Structure 1
Amino acid sequence: MTDPVEVMQARAEQAMRLAAHRTALLHTGAFTVAELAAMRGQDEACTRMWLARQIGDRALITVTHDGERLVPAFQLTAAGDPRPELQPLLEVLVGADLGDWATWTWLTTPSAFLSGERPVDVAVSNPPRARRSAERFAWAPSGA
């Protein structure tokens, strides 16, 4: 039987690792709705409606951090539009209900499914390969 203190320590360590990982992701860039609105030259209400459509179309993901909705920057063009090459991957990953933080992580981290390349990069250089890897990852036991 596992010692309850050890279980609590393991959970605390896991929570700290997760928080550190999320902080590292956030340091790669993310926009608040207000920042995205300014980038797009729109007011916040219009941007919120636009963002809801993009999420519904599986063209963008958002994450919640400290109670605020954030749009990871890697998935946007300089004009603040969704990068079209990512939508096929997002369709698969969002459809598998992996969670937005896990989706962000997988898209921007070197993947064994892509011989160590990042899915976000392969989506540009070889879209069919990137989509196949997303499908393999999404449906692998325990998200592999």
Structure 2
Amino acid sequence: MSADGEELATWLEGLGLADHLAEAGLPTFTRDGDGRAVWTEPDRVDELDRLLRSEGSEPEHAVPVALVLIARQARLRATLLETPWFTYETLAEVRGTSVDATRYAVHKADQTHRLLILPVEGRTVVPAFQLTDEGEVRPDVAPLLEPLLAAGMDPWRAWAWLTQPAALTFGRAPAEAVTDPELTDLVLHAAVRLAERI
């Protein structure tokens, strides 16, 4: 492996981006027993280096923005999956209904943009923030979901927007702030405006 490939591997590791190359459809590498970078496509290392350093006025110091965004997305998804969520089976238990009845209800709510569902490793995940203790759709969150999902917002992005603290809502997550009568209209308006920009 050329020094360029080694330097590129070390640079990507230093940026915390090495684990996200495959997700971006780029050549990947592993470290051999001696700690040297072994690339899956060694003949593409020069091309990869040029691609990743192509942005900015100083290419040698450029940061691969697209790859940084993929890495940030992966970290955010991991963070979101650390919060409570349900599968059809666990939600059926909470609701006290069959798995089939729960699956039907979830998909009906999804089709009307009243429930956020995500595919994760071959199964459907229902984030818990949008549900009551009985496993039903929160009536105060559904009006936030409807414009976002109807506009085609990526479900991960919608989950993040609804559950992450925001300056607009004084450091509270929109899904929490919507329960405050003084903030309800503001949050609903923000969801509609965000949907319009999608």
Amino acid of the residue matched to residue 105 of structure 1? Answer: A
- 3-state secondary structure, aligned to 2:125: strand
Look up the SS of the partner of 1:78 in the other structure. Answer: coil
Q: Is the 8 A contact 1:122 1:129 kept in 2?
A: no
1:103 matched to which residue of 2? Answer: 158
Alpha-carbon distance in 2 for matches of 1:13, 1:122: 30
Q: CA deviation at 1:137?
A: 2.3
Give the corresponding residue for 1:72: 127
> Unaligned 5+ residue runs, structure 2?
1-48, 55-63
Which SS does the other structure have where 1:85 is aligned?
A: coil
- Cα deviation, residue 74, structure 1: 0.5
Structure 2 residue corresponding to 1:6, chosen from 53, 67, 87: 53
Correspondence 1:36 to 2:91: yes
Q: Aligned residue for 1:82?
A: 137
- Structure 2 CA distance, aligned partners of 1:72 and 1:94? 14
For structure 1, the residue ranges without an aligned partner over 5 or more in a row are none
Corresponding residue for 1:136? 193
User: Could you say what secondary structure the match of 1:69 adopts?
Assistant: strand
- Tell me the distance in 1 between the aligned counterparts of 2:177 and 2:104: 30
Identity fraction in percent: 32
Radius of gyration: which is bigger?
2
Tell me whether 1:15 sits opposite 2:62 in the alignment: no
TM-score, normalization by structure 1? 0.85
> In the alignment, which of 118, 125, 130 is matched to residue 180 of structure 2?
125
Match of 2:81 in 1: 26
**Aligned partner of 2:122: which letter?**
G
Asked if the contact 1:93–1:138 (Cα under 8 Å) also holds between the matched residues in 2, the reply is: yes
How far off its partner does 1:56 sit? 2.1
Which has the larger share of helix? 1
RCO comparison, higher one (Cα < 8 Å, 6+): 1
Q: State how far apart, in whole Å, the 2-side matches of 1:104 and 1:5 are.
A: 29
RMSD: 2.1
Report what 2:110 is aligned to: 55
1:27 Cα deviation after fit: 0.6
